[in-house]
Amino acid sequence: MSHIIDVLKQKKVKLFITVTLGTFLIFLFILSALCIGPAYVSLTKTISILLNVDNKQDYGNLRNIVLNIRLPRALCAVIFGAALSVAGALAQATLRNPLVDPYILGVSSGAAFGAALFLLLGFSMLILPAAAFISGMIAFIITIFLSRLAGGTTISVVLSGIAIGTLFSSLLTLLIYFCSEEKSHYIVLWLTGSLSTIRWSDFNVAFPVITILLVYVLLRAKELNVILLGDEQAMQLGINIEKLKYEVYTLVALLASIPTAYSGIIGFIGLMSPHICRLIVGSDHRLLLPASIVVGANMLLLADLVAKSAYMLIMPSSPTELPLGALISMIGAPYFIYLLIKVRGRYAL
Amino acid sequence: MPSNKIKIKIVDVAVQFDSIRALNNVSFHVNTGEFVGILGPNGAGKTTLLRCIYKAVKPSSGAIYIDGKNVEEFSYKKLARIISSVPAEIPIEFNLTVADIILTGRYPYMDGSVRWWESKKDLLKADEVIRKLRLQNLLNRLFYTLSSGQKRIVLIAKALVQEPKIILADELISNLDLKYQLEVSELLKEISRSNVTVLATFHDLNIASRFCNKLILLKDGKVISIGEPSKILTPDLIREVYDVKAKVIKESDKLIIIPEKSINSNINYS
């Protein structure tokens, strides 16, 4: 029985190496994120603040910056990156379309619009994730419906998503004209994507919800493998395909909307991360999903680090952040074009 | 030899797609261990018939029974432990390996969501099939890089790993070269000898007559004739079903069908 057991062993080794290495990098980037920013905090100081080992030393505001501003921000980058990446992997598997992610499907823009609308109407910040989910789900359903009307091809899904995403982004932009300056600041951040407003209260809501969702998705990895063989084969292998699809669509909307409610529109993580992971570990979702979690987390952490620290190279005298969403799109958009050309060669669009 | 126990019973099955009647009161039965070839021109209803058996299409009337039980009473998962299908093709958007595809055949046996990896029993079954079909060296190959013949063998392996009592194969030997046409048909014949019932659609009458022990002729969703190949593949029936004039030569126990001329051609050559 050597052959198939060997294949399975290779898979387990790949999974172990990817997750271990990915987790190590996450810790490394978190530590960097705690040190780097307008106020530089040395590694020694950061570690002693984190471990609370040097009580006698008064770090003044640095303690507050590290523990209450940078730490929740870095931890949210981890869970949001993981959530967006897994949402992309799920959407790609169910739609059997390597060109989609929550942003391209219009879910992120829909979610951001919903959150902004509720904020404008005076609802509490606490219900923003729920508002984002409902609106993100509506955007997703419209995209799927439109793509079916347009022929259901790979490219029709992409085009429908872009149309719906543009529509919701435009609506979001219009909202700026109807709200106060303080709220319009939020909306601009949502449009460009940013983790700068994240605090512990946000992390405390997002972390348990996203963790539960990710564990649930990991347990469905086997079904996602089967679904790659096509709807009819999946059905023939014992899957209630309609039920599974609705379940996965809801998961995609939830995993994309919750980060969007707090950080605005961050596109392309869900496109690039699963694709890179497929190149490393293959398409078996038992490997792909854990790999997507660590790679997505690393990508957003790294992008946020760059967003925070790029001013040092560009304008050292004026510490301003680059918009995170725009920064990722600068890499994501060319990557999407590359995939578009590559995929076009493989099968008819 | 196939036993005489009825495995599949199809009673008055009709399927309506909008204004098209895809199947029209189809009735027949198949015994355990038979290798049944479903023949007919394009659009005759061959694929629809197979899809009805594994519940991908719901008949507008009539019923299908497996071991005396209506298929509608089976859950998808339970049915997947009885029936497996060999599709004509599968999507190739993602880089699935041969091993990935073969192991999906164990999904119907992986109860609950908690089991992450295949059990030892799952792997033993997969290994048995992989060895039998000599796929050891292809396990890490990406499926889409295989030849059509290799792809078909891998999909048959996936179907066998399911440990089915019935295998349904659509367009079994379409797009295959001569060698693979014979190898794939021989493989299915051998599988049927181990009391697995096989239903496959064919366009090649010679191959179907050589390997199947029962043939079903379909035209416009209706069963025109059912029986042994020598009784079914007559010049008159071929003419009626295919609109083709053909010569049928009997040589010992084999039939040789030579199509000669299309009658009532759809194409205007002038």
Bridge-based pairing of strands B83-86 and B35-39 is unpaired
Return the pLDDT at B60. Answer: 94
Higher pLDDT, A343 or B190: B190
CA B58 – CA B235 distance, rounded (Å): 34
pLDDT, chain A, mean: 88
Identify the three-state secondary structure at position B252.
Answer: coil
Per-residue pLDDT at B2 exceeds 50 = no
Each residue's pLDDT tens digit, B113-145:
567 888 889 999 999 999 988 899 999 999 999
pTM of the model: 0.89
Joined together, the tokens standing for residue B225 give 């004739």
- Tell me the C-alpha distance between A264 and A326, whole Å: 11
Q: What is the model's pLDDT at position B90?
A: 87
CA distance B157 to B101: 9
The model's confidence at residue B1, banded by pLDDT at 50, 70 and 90, is very low
Select the residue of A1, A236, A284 nearest B80 (Cβ to Cβ).
Answer: A236
| Per-residue pLDDT at A347 exceeds 50 | no
**Average pLDDT in the B246-269 region?**
82
Please say if the pLDDT value at position A187 is more than 50: yes
B87 to A232: CB separation less than 8 angstroms, yes or no: yes
Q: What does the pLDDT look like over B25-44, one tens digit per residue?
A: 999 999 999 999 999 999 89
Say if residue A316 is exposed, middle or buried (CB neighbours under 10 Å; 0-12, 13-18, 19+): exposed
| Distance of alpha carbon A10 from alpha carbon A330, whole angstroms | 35
pLDDT digit string, tens, across residues B164-189: 999 999 988 888 889 889 999 999 99
The C-alpha atoms of residue B170 and residue A232 are separated, in whole angstroms, by 12
CB-based contact B141:B98 (threshold 8 Å): yes
The one-letter amino acid code at B98 reads V
B1-82+164-229, what's its fold?
A: Rossmann fold (3.40.50)
Q: How far apart are CA A50 and CA B162, in angstroms?
A: 54
Convert the pLDDT of each residue in A128-162 to its tens digit: 889 999 999 999 999 999 988 988 777 888 899 99
Cβ of B93 within 8 Å of Cβ of A238? The answer is: no
Asked if residues A219 and A286 have their Cβ atoms less than 8 Å apart, the reply is: no
A342 touches chain B (CB under 8 A): no
Does the beta-carbon distance from B93 to A219 stay under 8 Å? no
Residue extents of the structural domains in chain A: 2-346
Give the rounded percent of residues in chain B with a pLDDT score beyond 70.
Answer: 95
The pLDDT of residue A348 is 43
Q: Which residue in A7, A230, A284 is closest to B91 by CB distance?
A: A230
CB of B67 closer than 8 Å to CB of B37: no
ipTM: 0.87
Q: Between residues B235 and B3, which one has the greater pLDDT?
A: B235
- Identify the pLDDT of residue A336: 84
Which contacts qualify for B70-79: CB closer than 8 Å, 24 or more apart?
A: B75/A238, B76/A235, B76/A238, B76/A239, B76/A240, B77/A238, B77/A239, B77/B108, B78/A238, B79/A238, B79/B54, B79/B55
**Structure tokens of B25?**
């009161």
Most A-contacting residue of B54, B74, B76, B168 (CB-CB within 10 A), to test interface = B76
Nearest residue to A88 (alpha-carbon basis) of A243, A334, A271: A271
Q: Which of B265, B216, B213, B264 is nearest to B237 (CA)?
A: B216
pLDDT in tens, B58-92: 999 999 999 999 999 999 989 999 999 999 888 87
* Rounded Cα distance, A25 and A30, in Å: 8
Question: What band does B161 get if pLDDT is binned at 50, 70 and 90?
Answer: very high
Beta-strand pair B20-31/B6-17: antiparallel
Given a contact cutoff of 8 angstroms between Cβ atoms, the answer to whether B154 and B138 are in contact is yes
Distance, in Å, from the CA atom of B188 to the CA atom of B200, rounded to the nearest integer, reads 9
Does position A254 have pLDDT exceeding 80, yes or no? yes
Contacts of B87 in chain A (CB under 8 A): 229-230, 232-233
Residue type at B191? I
State the smallest CA–CA distance between residue A242 and chain B in angstroms: 12
B122: Cα within 13 Å, side-chain hemisphere: 19
- How many residues in chain A? 349
A213 vs A187, which has greater pLDDT?
A: A213
- Among residues B77, B80, B83, the alpha carbon closest in space to that of B111 is found at B77
Residue A252 CB contacts under 8 Å (≥ 6 apart), including other chains: A87, A90, A91, A94, A102, A105, A107, A140
Handedness of CA A235, A240, A243, A246 (dihedral sign): negative
Of the pLDDT bands very low, low, confident and very high (cuts 50, 70, 90), residue A95 is confident
By percentage, how much of chain A surpasses pLDDT 70? 96
What band does B264 get if pLDDT is binned at 50, 70 and 90? confident
Q: Across all residues in chain B, what is the average pLDDT?
A: 90
CATH topology assigned to domain A2-346: ABC transporter involved in vitamin B12 uptake, BtuC (1.10.3470)
Greater pLDDT, B184 or A313: B184
Over the stretch A1-58, which tens digit does the pLDDT of each residue have?
458 889 999 999 999 999 999 999 999 999 999 998 888 888 988 988 888 776 666 6
pLDDT of B154: 95
| Mean pLDDT across A260-286 | 92
User: Does residue A1 belong to the interface with chain B, where contact is any CB pair within 8 Å?
Assistant: yes
DSSP state of B50: H
Domain boundaries, chain B: 1-82+164-229, 91-163
How far away is chain A from the Cα of B220, in angstroms, using its nearest Cα? Answer: 24
